[in-house]
Structure 1
Amino acid sequence: MPVERQVTEDDALQLVLAVHRLNRTLRLSTTDLPPTQLIVLSLLAEHGPMRIGELAARVPCSQPTATTVVAVLEAAGLARREPDPADGRAVLIILTDEGQERITSVARREAELLDRRMAELEPDEREIVLAATPLLRRLAGR
């Protein structure tokens, strides 16, 4: 029976650094959107309309920063504000069709770049990376 290997703090650190480096490489090569704008668009695409305060908490950033980011996204036609039907004093930030297209386009370009990078791996290495995908999704979902 194989001995269970304990994950060390350094193991976790190396994985975090590798994931960050891969993510940064993909983002820098596939979009001109600043990271906070991309995060806001991604959050709206994944979770639907949100108030500024909720966006700020999820990014995370200050509420004034979230307000500025949303204003830039509005000016670019990627998001819009609508009254919150649950509270007439508040507004919801909504992803526009153009915003959805933009975030989908970024994701596709990232996937294409990752596909090219993975093609450089040996077949058994590709299988290891692909087999890890469900586990990484589980870790990300917590």
Structure 2
Amino acid sequence: MAVPGWRFPTEVITMAQEALQLLVSMHRIVRHLRRNRTTTAMHPTQFLALMLIADEQPIRIGEIASRVPCSQPTATTTVAGLEEAGLVRREPDPVDGRATAVVLTDAGAETVEASGRQAADELAKLLSRLDDADRKLVLEAGAVLARVTDDL
């Protein structure tokens, strides 16, 4: 139940507005990268899963589902598509041989490297529009955002 006359403090409203602007800006950057094919022609969920597999391999499908994030069936379908494309393979989990882990193939590693290089080149073009101080600020913010998203 709302309390008459109560309002969010100005700093909370300002932070929410700034967070929304950050979200919009990040979305525009991702859209720009997709439009320029820097994340390959694969579905975004496949791309995120492939990058996660590259970082965390060997990794179980359940962990992929929780970290992408997506549902378990979506993770299974995503891995199946990547496997069909020859980018990943399943093998017995080294910790629990009853379970299956997913690892990159050589083609998957090449795709990750090429996509990363293309995305980095395209981001460098965007950042080159900024002066040195703003570019440094954006790169520092990127490191902070990486820490924030590590546990997502």
Question: Which runs of no fewer than 5 residues in structure 1 stay unpaired?
Answer: none
| Alpha-carbon offset, residue 135 of structure 1 | 2.8
Offset at residue 131 of structure 1 (A): 4.0
Which residue of 1 is the match for residue 117 of structure 2?
108
Task: Report the Cα offset of residue 90 of structure 1.
Answer: 1.6
The 1-side partners of 2:147 and 2:71 are apart by 28
Q: What is the one-letter code of the residue matched to 1:44?
A: I
1:20 partner amino acid? H
2:51 corresponding residue in structure 1: 42
The CA distance in 1 between the partners of 2:148 and 2:97, in whole Å, is 38
Amino acid at match of 1:114: L
- Same amino acid, percent of matched pairs: 48
Q: Does 1:55 align with 2:78?
A: no
Scaled by the length of structure 2, what TM-score is found? 0.78
User: Which sits farther off after the overlay, 38-47 or 130-139?
Assistant: 130-139
2:97 aligns to what SS in structure 1?
strand
Against the structure 1 CA distance between its residues 36 and 134, is the aligned structure 2 distance closer, same or farther, given a 3 Å change threshold? Answer: closer
The correspondence for 1:15, drawn from 22, 36, 44, is: 22
CA contact (8 A) 2:58 2:101 kept: yes
| Aligned counterparts of 2:79 and 2:139: Cα–Cα separation in 1 | 35
SS at match of 1:89: coil
Distance 1:10 1:99, change over 3 A: same
Q: Does 1:76 find its partner at 2:75? A: no
Q: Deviation string for 1:1-27 (max 9, x for gaps)?
A: xxxx77521111111221222123223
Indicate whether 1:26 and 2:33 are aligned: yes
Q: Which residue does the alignment assign to 2:135?
A: 126
**Residue identity opposite 1:48 in structure 2:** Q
Residue 99 of structure 1, CA deviation: 0.7
* Per-residue CA distance 1:106-140 (angstroms, 9 max, x = gap): 11101111111222234443343234333333333
Name the TM-score, length of structure 1 as normaliser. Answer: 0.83
Matched, 1:117 2:126: yes
What CA distance in whole angstroms lies between the structure 1 residues aligned with 2:124 and 2:131?
13
Q: Which moved more, 1:72-81 or 1:119-128?
A: 119-128
CA RMSD in angstroms comes to 2.1
